[in-house]
Amino acid sequence: MTIDVDKLLEWLGPAGTKAALRASKLTQKELLDLAKSKNLILSSKSTREDIASELAFASARTIDKEPEQLLLMDAVSLFEYLKEKAPSRRELTEILDRFGIQPSSEAKKSLMKFAAREISDIGMYERVAHRKNHKDDEA
């Protein structure tokens, strides 16, 4: 049986896809094989819930830049990029978490603007620190 995860995502979204995969009649091995076909690396001991979640949410990721690339962008460019890619709240929250940023309840209302501003600020601080260290090395 062949399952088109991308079509499920289009029809049901990530949460619906996860529920559909979890409730499907696919065996654990079939789910793992499906994950492998999507180049997802999961342990053979992964639970059905973990496999379904990874298939649904990993396939739904839209941000295709590495965190280091995001740090090089200014807030306006980053916001425009995020608007274009339209990531899920979960994907944005995961990226913020990678930078150790926990948005307040107020910031969650406009998560995309908050993420763009915070990531851009971290990048600016890193660039300034790098320049300072580079100047210190020259002295």
Q: What is the pLDDT of residues 47-84, one digit of tens each?
A: 899 899 889 888 778 899 998 999 999 999 999 999 99
Distances (CA, A) of 25 to 4, 20, 53, 121: 15, 10, 16, 47
Residue 88 tokens, joined:
């899920």
Tally of domains in the chain: 2
Residue 87 tokens, joined:
């990531």
**Is residue 76 located within the same domain as residue 93?**
yes
CA 113 – CA 110 distance, rounded (Å): 6
The pTM of this model reads 0.58
Residue 74 tokens, joined:
């200014």
50 close to 84: Cβ distance less than 8 angstroms: no
**Is residue 86 located within the same domain as residue 122?**
yes
Eight-state DSSP code of residue 86 = -
Q: What is the pLDDT of residues 3-57, one digit of tens each?
A: 888 899 889 988 899 999 999 999 999 999 998 888 877 888 888 998 998 898 8
**Is residue 124 located within the same domain as residue 102?**
yes
Which residues form the domain of 13?
5-58
Q: What is the pLDDT of residues 105-139, one digit of tens each?
A: 888 888 889 999 999 999 999 989 888 777 777 66
